[in-house]
Amino acid sequence: MKIGIDNEWYDLTKWARYHPGGERILERFDGHNATEHFYSLHSKKAVEQLKRMRPVDAKESVPEESKIDQAFRELRQQLKRDGWWERQYFWEFSLIGAIFAMVIAGTMLSYTHPIVAILLLSVAMQQAGWLGHDFVHGRDVPLHTALTRVVTGWINGFHRSWWSEKHNTHHVLTNHAQHDPDIDMQPVLFLWAPIKAVDHHLRKYQHYYFPLLYCLIYVSWRWQSLLWSLNRRDWNTFLFSQLPGYVWLAMMPWYVSLGSVLFGGFLVALVVTLSHETEEIVTGRITSFAENQFVCTKNIECPDWITEYLFGGMQYQLEHHLFPTLPRYKYRLLVPIVKQWARNNGLEYKAAPLTDMLVEHYQFLKKNGQLAARKDKVDKYAFQP
């Protein structure tokens, strides 16, 4: 398994099984230049580990990076020199404080004011998801590892390693058919015309029932996280990170716990789906890292401070995909710089108001629900785990 980084080939065959992002990413980049993909996600420690490895000799040279990625590297290096990656712990602990305030209030009100409790706990779970997501990306901050256990483990039941592997694949192979698990939801939702083997008669109604499915996203992620722990016999994570959260949920009325998980998942699903699902699906090639993000990502313009807070910085999805390890509370300030860089390099910066994107998403699902099924025997678009 030979991957090109910084104009050198590295044989990562033996390392692949230990790769925190999973083997799948490395297999996909076998024989390709992955320089910008590598630096976008990896910590200083990972970069140092790579530099200690000895490059391998090969007859063929590493494929040259696109001009777009070369220009993007200059932008990223300039932002680093300007201190954009420096964390502001006042904001981080303020976000944590708000989450636990909602958790405590929602728990105390769960028996007397269940509707209020569900709303508070749903927003707390959603915000815990955004914050834990930020912490998993922020690998250079040791405190984040400990906080992830509490924020995403206790509150949402997520396994850090499961999330890291799934999410990193989405980041470096955004909207890549057969590789990005975030765009394939067949046979419950169809983002393209399916083959007959996976089609069903309810597809034509998917623009009506999709909100119900989005409520189940946290249920699905919790279940996958539990299976990850149990299948790998990771009892430490199960006992000390996941189990406490389920004990907490069991202490409240079942309808409050279930309602919180369902509505919290729905709030997250809105952001996750609107930013990518209606954009281009990439097939059969490794594209420029930066160009891939511009083609497959659209920002959500939130109309007020309430949605601005609820969307947790992830409405600036393009900035996040370009700089995933950057603190998310800095994305809003980065928008003018990215827009100017896009103009200078002939790239389209896509963004639309929340209401427009909701309408577009509804129409997109309706259109794909009415397409005729394909006769192919193998679905070239489907995710192959």
Which of the residue ranges 183-192, 258-267, 360-369 would you say has the lowest mean pLDDT? 183-192
| pLDDT band for position 384 (cuts 50, 70, 90) | low
Say which residues have a Cβ less than 8 Å from residue 125's Cβ, sequence separation at least 6: 155, 156, 218, 260, 261, 264, 265
Under a CB-based contact definition with an 8 Å cutoff, are residues 312 and 130 in contact?
yes
d(CA 271, CA 266): 9
Query: Nearest CA to 69 among 8, 6, 22?
Result: 6
Say which residues have a Cβ less than 8 Å from residue 273's Cβ, sequence separation at least 6: 214, 361
Between vectors from CA 272 to CA 241 and to CA 193, what angle results, nearest 5°? 125
- Answer positive or negative: Cα dihedral of 12, 15, 21, 24: positive
Residue pLDDT, tens place only, 87-100: 888 888 888 899 99
Under a CB-based contact definition with an 8 Å cutoff, are residues 178 and 383 in contact?
yes
Query: Nearest CA to 84 among 328, 301, 342, 309?
Result: 328
Rounded mean pLDDT, 316-324: 94
Residue pLDDT, tens place only, 156-175: 999 888 888 888 888 888 98
DSSP one-letter code for 12: -
d(CA 91, CA 69): 32
Under a CB-based contact definition with an 8 Å cutoff, are residues 32 and 4 in contact?
yes
CATH 3.10.120.10 fits 2-54+62-81, yes or no: yes
Domain boundaries, the chain: 2-54+62-81, 89-370
| pLDDT band for position 13 (cuts 50, 70, 90) | confident
Rounded mean pLDDT, 198-217: 93
pTM attached to this predicted model: 0.90
Under a CB-based contact definition with an 8 Å cutoff, are residues 164 and 325 in contact?
no
Helix (H) / strand (E) element for 301: namely: strand 299-301
Say which residues have a Cβ less than 8 Å from residue 167's Cβ, sequence separation at least 6: 133, 136
Rounded mean pLDDT, 234-263: 95
Per-residue model confidence (pLDDT) at position 385: 62
**Tokens 């910085």, residue?**
313
Rounded mean pLDDT, 311-323: 93
Q: Answer yes or no: is pLDDT of 306 > 80.
A: yes
d(CA 90, CA 35): 33
Say which residues have a Cβ less than 8 Å from residue 280's Cβ, sequence separation at least 6: 175, 295, 296
Q: Answer yes or no: is pLDDT of 383 > 80.
A: no
Residue pLDDT, tens place only, 99-115: 999 999 999 999 999 99
